[in-house]
A and B are shown apart, each in its own frame.
Chain A
Amino acid sequence: DTAVSQTPKYLVTQMGNDKSIKCEQNLGHDTMYWYKQDSKKFLKIMFSYNNKELIINETVPNRFSPKSPDKAHLNLHINSLELGDSAVYFCASSPALGAATTEAFFGQGTRLTVV
């Protein structure tokens, strides 16, 4: 049973389109995240949500809009896709905000290619 699952695993789309990536965790965690890993393999946090509330938004263009319908889900919607959005997007979750000793669990990633 996958702890953090993302769909789709691969996504190829044209510039200008709008697309969504879904993420679900079955660990009962309070905090969920989206990370972006670019072609240089640098892994950078985009958003952090705690109990459905946005905690961190790391200078991400407002074309990116996370949505958390409930604690177990954090979806990422991207409007007007650009070539530079091509990357691997990872969803993650961890037990509790502010808990120093907790680790984060990552999904397997969604490889987005904008053509």
Chain B
Amino acid sequence: DAKTTQPTSMDCAEGRAANLPCNHSTISGNEYVYWYRQIHSQGPQYIIHGLKNNETNEMASLIITEDRKSSTLILPHATLRDTAVYYCIVRVPDTGNQFYFGTGTSLTVIP
């Protein structure tokens, strides 16, 4: 699997957009970018995924650069409940379907 690099921690003011970057410069053409988050003491929760195009759902938006070497997860209006560790995962589709988690970004939403 391609390695991902994320900042260790970030702060965001409540109500503002949280922009979480991820570098995946060695991504291959058939690898998807997934984002998960883990709120304290809970299981990881799926947020969004994409291949090339930008994606949006009810939780977040995913912006993938044209060269696919980096992406940004955007939480448009961060709330206190968005405080969590956010994981960016690049996944090979044909090697057992597993997800390899890195160290993630610890996002703290500040009141």
Contact = CB atoms under 8 A, between A and B. Distances in A.
Q: Is chain B a partner of chain A in the same complex? A: yes
A33 B44 contact: no
Contacts of B30: 100
B91 A107 contact: no
Given A41-B85, A42-B103, A100-B30, A94 B43 contact: no
A66 to B, nearest CB: 14
Nearest to B45: A106
A63 interface: no
Interface stretch (B14-22, B61-69, B71-79, B93-101): B93-101
A1 B87 CA distance: 26
Interface in A38-73: 41-45, 48, 50, 55-56
Interface in A74-115: 90, 92, 94, 96-109
Interface residues of A, number: 30
A105 B36 CA distance: 10
Interface string B40-56: 01111110010000000
B98 A56 contact: yes
Interface centre among B49, B94, B97, by most chain A C-beta atoms within 10 angstroms, is B97
B94 A98 contact: yes
Contacts of A35: 101
Interface string A17-37: 000000000000001010100
Contacts of A43: 38, 44, 87, 101
Contacts of A103: 34, 46, 49
A107 to B, nearest CB: 5
A78 B62 CA distance: 39
Contacts of A107: 43
A56 B96 contact: yes
Interface of A: 4, 31, 33, 35, 41-45, 48, 50, 55-56, 90, 92, 94, 96-109
Complex A-B, nearest 3 residue pairs according to Cβ-Cβ distance, in ascending order: A100-B93, A106-B43, A103-B46
26 contacts: A4-B43, A41-B85, A42-B101, A42-B103, A43-B101, A44-B101, A45-B98, A45-B99, A48-B96, A48-B98, A50-B97, A55-B96, A90-B43, A92-B43, A98-B93, A98-B94, A99-B97, A101-B32, A101-B49, A102-B97, A103-B34, A103-B46, A104-B99, A106-B44, A109-B41, A109-B43
